[in-house]
Amino acid sequence: MSGAPGISRPRGAIDAERWPDVVAVPRCSAARRALARAVVRHALNGLPLKVAMGDGEVLGRGGPLLEIHDPDSLLRRVATHGLVGFGESYMAHEWEARDLVAVLTVFAEHAATLVPPPLQRLRALWAPRKPAEQRNTPSGAQANIQHHYDLSNDLFALFLDASLSYSAALFDQLPAAWPDLEAGQHRKIDRMLDLCGVGPGTRLLEIGTGWGALAIRAAERGASVHSVTLSAEQRDLARRRVRAAGHEDRVRIELCDYREVRGQYDAIASVEMIEAVGAEYWPTFFRTLDSLLAPGGSVALQAITMPHDRMLAGRNTYTWVQKYIFPGGQLPSVRAVEETARAHTGLRVTACDGFGAHYARTLALWRERFAQQEEKVGQLGFDATFRRMWDFYLAYSEAGFRSGYLDVHQIRLDGAS
């Protein structure tokens, strides 16, 4: 996919009060800066990229073009904040890419080798640590969710399809176009409901309401749905959508932490919510599922995943996505799901299917739509730096799935009969 048209790139238009770490280029020691320069130059020279430095020097082995306008500022950011600094450098207009997804895909494909092994072993010394306030305690989890999902329902409506589904679609075939997206979202939801056996009379618990698409679809099947979310914005709109669909008698939506849910359910469905649980609380999450699931019931999870070794390597690292997009987030591996469930519950994984290429296409469609709606995004009060940040987030995510560094799985867990 080429760079999204319409995303503005104004220089010198950054609100210092709102974006202090983007405006301020950090200071660092000469030794740290020299080490960062050596590591960055070594990494760039080994990549299939054409890297145009601000002084006319060209690095890399050839490929998508990466233009670094301010090498010194980028190096100081990376030296101080690692890959968080790399993302902030983009937000500050210190580098550009004509095809941002292609450039980020190259980085994702070579993520395991960008940092030399000796420095990887010293990761705890140089990588930023997760802030304590982002822990997913009951109060922390609500703040983390609201940071992203309570931005504005109107914002999400500008780039999502009519189903308002903010997760991977499952297309009939690839490549898919915008008119295919809504059907792809319904296909994903139907497979989730099939996975955990939702039909007439099913008592379904949904953890993570979104804007109500799955709850409405389940109600159409005759299920009784209890859906919980930590986003007040999502709850309010989801309730209105349920009412408009005529399913108020079958769907109850609450602002409620998963740890506070009580009762017994024949089926539990959760779409891309486990990423917000945090590794520290995975045992609690699965124990909660186990305690709420009626005998003979099934759980269907849709989860963004990453390879187990990469998950372990970065488990305690603070990332750009955690700082700016999803505070408190942590992607599991399929193995982590299996091992956590086995170690702490009677739940067992009985089915698992990945479809990462479909998520890459979903993200590409969202990003194209977001670019087309840039003027309206601005009218909602989101400044140029936010729009650039969001463009980077969508491109960064697409690159993860295109490279195979990320995947998305639908997973069924069965409890004891």
Q: How many domains does the chain have?
A: 2
Query: And the tokens for 24?
Result: 């301020």
* 181 inside domain: yes
Residue 241 lies in a domain: yes
Do 122 and 253 lie in one domain? The reply is no
Last residue of a domain, one of 128, 154, 188: 128
pTM score: 0.94
Chain centre distance of CA 196: 24
Are residues 273 and 252 part of one domain? Answer: yes
Looking at the structure, tell me whether residues 101 and 205 fall in a common domain: no
Domain identity same for 74 and 216 = no
Burial 119-155, CB ≥16 within 10 A → b, else e: eeeeeeebbbebeeebebbeebbbebbbebbebebeb
Q: In what order do the strands lie in the sheet with 251-255?
A: 251-255, 224-229, 203-207, 265-271, 293-305, 407-414, 348-354
Residue-number span of the structural domain to which 30 is assigned:
20-128
Residue 382 covered by a domain = yes
10-residue stretch averages of pLDDT, the chain, 417 residues long: 43 81 91 88 93 90 96 92 94 97 96 69 63 92 94 97 98 97 98 98 98 98 98 97 98 98 98 97 98 97 96 89 96 98 97 98 98 97 97 98 97 88
Q: 316, exposed or middle or buried, with CB in 10 Å at 0-12, 13-18, 19+? A: middle
Residues 102 and 140 placed together within one structural domain of the fold: no
At residue 5, the pLDDT reads 43
8 Å CB contact between 401 and 356: yes
Residue 334, SS3 per DSSP: helix
328 and 235 both lie in a single domain:
yes
Q: Is 9 part of any domain? A: no
Residue 261 to residues 227, 229, 280, 289, 293, Cα–Cα distance (Å): 10, 11, 19, 10, 11
* Confidence at residue 120, expressed as pLDDT on a 0 to 100 scale: 60
Give, for 90, the enclosing helix (H) or strand (E): helix 71-91
The residue out of 128, 163, 194 marking a domain boundary is 128
161, part of any domain = yes
Q: Reduced to 3 states, what is the DSSP secondary structure of residue 382?
A: coil
Pair (87, 182) in one structural domain:
no
Strand order in the sheet with 65-68: 58-59, 50-52, 65-68, 95-97
Domain contains 35? yes
- Residue 412's SS3 state is strand
Q: Are residues 84 and 45 in the same domain?
A: yes
Backbone angles phi, psi at 270, to 5 degrees: -150, 115
Do residues 110 and 138 share a domain? no
Rounded Cα–Cα distance for residues 253 and 242 (Å): 9
243 and 379 housed in the same domain: yes
Residues contacting residue 375 through CB under 8 Å, at least 6 positions apart: none
Is 361 within 8 Å of 174 (Cβ atoms)? yes
Residue 195 lies in a domain: yes
In a domain, 215, yes or no: yes
Do 122 and 139 share a structural domain? no
Give the CATH number of the domain where residue 404 resides: 3.40.50.150
The reply to whether 96 and 174 lie within a common domain is no
Give SS3 for 409.
strand
| CA-based R_g, the chain, Å | 22
pLDDT given for residue 417 in this prediction: 64
CB 76 within 8 A of CB 60: no
